[in-house]
Structure 1
Amino acid sequence: MGCAISGLSETADLGEKSNYHAGGGGEGGHLSQDQIDMIKESWKVIKDNITKVGIIVFVRLFETHPECKDVFFLFRDVKDLERLRTSRELRAHGLRVMSFIEKSVARLDQPERLEVLAVELGKSHYHYNAPPKYYSYVEAEFLNAVQPILKDRWTAELEEAWKTMFQYMTRLMKQGYEDEDRQNQATISPKERGDKRNAAL
């Protein structure tokens, strides 16, 4: 949900090692090579509809979780969600998020680089005041948006592969968010500290 996705650093203090292993079994955050291949193949189709998917994801996100609009200054007071479908700002933000997903898919065979990408994004979300509870909302709307595009390519196995990838990315983003939170605790007031903690609940 951050707005600096395309400019993410490729370096980060990764802290804990990730639970991601290419060629693993597909359970507990592990993606098998078959799952990686399925995701990459499906992305080729999704990519042709990248703008449409980005818009659908955020319009639906604001419909199902209107509180998410509070994170976005530009959309906070928009009541007519249909108007958002033609918003240049929403289109641009949707593309940034889809760009992050594209970068993630491209790094599925490079778990170290993928980990850096997700942790850095989590850190940037701390500064947008976009807490981890929102990340799974985006996952759900993305999966809903791509099913009609993939049509008969969408299977239970493909859905499981995408969910596994998102769960892994969400865990790392949460780690980055919490790392940044800890680093900033000493420099912010007690009131700001309480506000951020309450938002993350």
Structure 2
Amino acid sequence: MGCAISGLAESAGLAEKIVRDHDAGGRGGGQHPNQDQIDMIKESWKVIRDDIAKVGIIVFVSVMSFIEKSVARLDQLERLEALAVELGKSHYHYSAPPKYYDYVGAEFISAVQPILKDRWTAELEEAWKTLFQYVTCLMKQGYKEADRQNHAAVSPKERADKRNTAL
């Protein structure tokens, strides 16, 4: 009914839809937002930023910082891509696996939708989903790069030793 737990089911459902859309090659899976979406995201961000205290309670401050940086770089895709790939690499180093990345966008959307009220449209939702699918794809790429680099830095003998110690 309005409690935090009932909202989790909605968020999980949205996250599952984003993952399905992404896995099925749906709109936005790994593609950057188009210009209309960029404009909608920037406009809605101005409203969200003004009411950031409410959103901050629901979404971690570090996530909000990343979103702020992402919105600021929407017109500079090289910088946005580098930011997201680096974030994915850092997630590898503190063992935050990619399987959870898709849920962040869904949680963010659930948190900001009530703030934007009548400004929230299906097109704006699609724009934000596209942004999150795009950066999530890049973060996963960064995570994989860090994984490859880590495995390349370890000799085959050391890898064998590490596997044996886990037994």
Q: State TM-score, norm by structure 1.
A: 0.61
| Deviation of the 1:189 alpha carbon | 4.7
1:35 aligns with 2:47: no
| Deviation of the 1:97 alpha carbon | 1.4
- CA distance in 1 between counterparts of 2:104 and 2:141 reads 17
Residue aligning to 2:55: 53
3-state SS of paired residue (1:152): helix
Residue aligning to 1:103: 69
1:128 to 86, 94, 102: 94
| Deviation of the 1:36 alpha carbon | 0.4
Residue aligning to 2:18: none
What are the superposed Cα offsets for residues 62-111 of structure 1, whole Å, 9 maximum, x if unpaired?
xxxxxxxxxxxxxxxxxxxxxxxxxxxxxxxx222101100000100000
Residue aligning to 1:78: none
- Equivalent pair of 1:51/1:95 in contact (CA under 8 Å): no
Rg: which structure is higher?
Answer: 2
3-state SS of paired residue (2:55): helix
Q: State TM-score, norm by structure 2.
A: 0.73
Residue aligning to 1:44: 46
Across the aligned residues of Structure 1 and Structure 2, the Cα RMSD in angstroms comes to 1.9
**Amino acid in the other structure paired with 2:132:** F
Q: Which moved more, 1:182-191 or 1:170-179?
A: 182-191
Structure 1 unpaired stretches of 5+: 1-25, 58-93, 194-201
Change (3 A) 1:162 1:103: same
- CA distance in 2 between counterparts of 1:171 and 1:32 reads 16
Q: Which has the higher contact order (CA 8 A, sep 6+)?
A: 2
> Identity over aligned residues, as a percent?
77
**Amino acid in the other structure paired with 1:45:** V
- CA distance in 2 between counterparts of 1:113 and 1:55 reads 28
| Deviation of the 1:27 alpha carbon | 4.6
Change (3 A) 1:121 1:31: same
Change (3 A) 1:190 1:140: farther
